[in-house]
Structure 1
Amino acid sequence: MRSVIRLIICLSLLTLTACEFDRHEMHQARQNLSYTTKLHHLHMLVNHSLQMATQGADMNLQGVEHGPAMLVKASGLLERAMSGPEMARMHKYGSGNKPLMKMTQELADKSAVLIEAMKGISTKTADKDAIRMLNHAVEVAATGSSLIMLGQQGMAGDIDAVMVNHGQLMLGEASGLLHDTTGAPEYRLLVSGVVQMLIGIPDMPIDSEDGDSK
């Protein structure tokens, strides 16, 4: 009888250990998913700042008074996304050296340089047609990137696949626009750096390291 009781106790302990292990694995998975989701949302804010900036730059080309204000707002949104308390919290809890975080920072840095260049665009700027096409490439890439990241979160059933597929098509279109546009070589170089990063970020895997649980 004692042997049976001991066996039952051992089996119970093994079951509890297995359950605890499963809970730990689930917790780790939730942390990693939460970290990636938070960064994707921050990416979407960066993307929107780029969309605002391209509109402002196009207004500058046409001499529309609202252009400079749009670019200032774009810079403000980019700064808010990258230096706000949410980003600070992620760095505090050890996410600063993760690949997706590094890529986010690099995208933000290149976006900031591009937006500053956009602020210098005016009705006197040369290669206007090329600049318009390059701005369109940025806007298309930013939109496609956001669609993919939103669809990857799996919140809307079958429509998620539609969003991801359309986002991929938009990234392909942006790449084609960049390839086909000649002129404004210095500006094109800045645009290329941003567009190539927008194409790459949605494909970044979920980090396998411990995520941010806050």
Structure 2
Amino acid sequence: MKKINLKILFVIYFLFFANASAACSKAKVSAVTENKISLEELEKSVDKDDFKKVFDEYKVEGCFVLYDKKENKFIRYNAKRCAKRFTPASTFKIPNSLIALETGVIKDENEILKWDGVKRDRAEWNKDQTLDSAFEFSAVWFYQEIARRVGEERMKKYVNDFAYGNRDVSGGIDQFWLRGNLRISPDEQITFLREVYENKLPVSARSIEILKKIM
């Protein structure tokens, strides 16, 4: 995702998840009640069942969400799954980066955090990291460290302010987005990314600018 145009990330959010039904008869109801997507937006949603062959080819169950800002239209595959909440895992590095910048835990994209010396499976993780490089390599240890520095109370505040999924940061300050209780749906991820793109989150313009730069 290095230096990807934020418009692309904003427009396309593609997620694979395991073990869920492809049925979508109640998708509009669940999307409205759980994700607060307007009925008007849902009426502009287009289901792309022809994407199924791609998922079948790789033997995975997943969903696809594309939001066309110009047309104000969603394109979805497996709409019911798009409305279901899952662990955010590495996608949480987007809000995590914002929170670290906003709290001053990281001053900018070039500040270096020293590698802790623990050898991990990915060689690119086993070195000092900046916010820029950690985002590029999805370096988990870096994001765990900045989360510890942010602390539970401040993290809870920002996750709540962002209306991020179920807003549950329990399960450990350096684990809640990996193995804890935080859950967010692909549709909610799109809503969050739209707010990032449109600078509508309750953070400084500077923090948003740096985030867009590293993305």
Shorter-chain TM-score bucket reads: under 0.3
* TM-score normalised by L of structure 2: 0.25
Q: Which has the larger radius of gyration?
A: 1
* TM-score normalised by L of structure 1: 0.25
